[in-house]
């Protein structure tokens, strides 16, 4: 069997957008990186250069989005859609240069980032790709809400959401990674919010850049966006997209089965921390053949 190699971008590519919560204009450049670099954010807007590794231990805030920070307190927020795109496209190593505190929202989904990656192409690197294999069940709960990882072939998701809204209501999604499934089934699903919550979010300093251009806005039982939904169950699909981005903060793909009910950024990160802090729950493995097939060979216990 052939060992799957790590991958990075073929060359750099840039975009400009508005931060969903900050409302600030942001320039971002995705750049190739050396093997075993992982995903690293570089804040280039201040008097000093700051580097922030995209990993679970650096998550500093999970309210409404996922934020990572370094020891100096410099942060990058709303990273989950970009992280999901990098995971979905099989990018192991990349540098993300950004001149502000938040990833641009683009259209509220991961599709624009997938497009950027496909525009420049992907190159293999002469180092084996590794993954985190779940070997024992791990679960976190918050009342009725829960997030769970257990051993399983490849990576799969069973996720259910339940909102006190007639339009969103209760939705469930089963998703199996591989063969372009992320791009086809999840990448275009957008973040969403409720019209009646906008003023409250603004008072908290959130959603200042939110608009019908970068979020699905729900008013009662209606979608205010022209064209409506991209999928009938776009809401649960987007929650699955967020989950994939949050779990990629493991620093490598996860091999196992996720199940959850009304999980969000906080539960996702709590679950990942539990997994990564207990060596008995996981193995590091080398991926064989292709990432889509997820054939792996154990190389030891722990990270």
Run of H or E including 247: helix 234-247
> How far does CA 267 lie from the centroid of its chain?
14
Q: Which residue has the tokens 């493991």?
A: 250
CA distances from 162 to 136, 196, 244, 260 (A): 28, 18, 19, 11
Active site residue 202: no
Q: Is 199 exposed, middle or buried (0-12, 13-18, 19+ CB in 10 A)?
A: exposed
Separation of alpha carbons 105 and 90, rounded Å:
21
**Pick from 267, 245, 219, 15: which is nearest to 110 by CA?**
245
Separation of alpha carbons 133 and 142, rounded Å:
25
Separation of alpha carbons 79 and 95, rounded Å:
13
CA distances from 67 to 58, 79, 191 (A): 8, 7, 16
Structure tokens at 32: 């190739």
Query: Which residue in 21, 81, 238, 265 is the catalytic one?
Result: 265
Catalytic residue list: 265
């Amino acid at each position: 069997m052939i060992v799957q190699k790590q991958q990075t971008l073929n060359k750099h590519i840039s975009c400009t957008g508005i931060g969903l919560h900050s409302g600030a204009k942001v320039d971002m450049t995705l750049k190739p990186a050396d093997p075993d670099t992982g995903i690293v954010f570089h804040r280039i807007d201040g008097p000093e250069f700051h580097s922030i590794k995209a990993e679970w231990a650096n998550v500093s805030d999970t309210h409404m989005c996922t934020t990572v920070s370094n020891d100096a307190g410099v942060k990058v927020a709303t990273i989950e859609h970009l992280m999901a795109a990098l995971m979905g496209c099989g990018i192991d190593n990349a540098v993300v240069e950004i001149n502000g505190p938040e990833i641009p929202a683009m259209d509220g989904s991961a599709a624009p980032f997938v497009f950027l990656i496909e525009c420049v192409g992907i190159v293999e690197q002469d180092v084996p790709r590794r993954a985190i294999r779940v070997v024992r069940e791990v679960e976190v709960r918050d009342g009725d809400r829960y997030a769970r990882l257990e051993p399983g072939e490849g990576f799969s998701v069973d996720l259910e959401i339940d909102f006190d809204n007639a339009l969103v209501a209760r939705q469930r999604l089963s998703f199996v990674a591989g063969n372009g499934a992320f791009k086809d089934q999840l990448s275009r699903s957008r973040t969403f919010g409720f019209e009646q919550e906008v003023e409250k979010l603004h008072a908290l300093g959130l959603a200042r850049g939110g608009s019908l251009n970068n979020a699905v806005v729900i008013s009662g039982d209606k979608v205010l966006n022209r064209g409506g939904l991209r999928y009938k169950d776009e809401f649960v699909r987007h929650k699955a997209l967020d989950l994939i981005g949050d779990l990629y903060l493991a620093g490598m793909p996860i091999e196992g089965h996720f199940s959850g009910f009304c999980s969000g950024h906080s539960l996702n990160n709590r679950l990942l921390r539990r997994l990564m802090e207990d060596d008995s729950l996981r193995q590091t493995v080398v991926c064989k053949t292709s990432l889509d097939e997820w054939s792996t060979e154990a190389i030891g216990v722990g990270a």
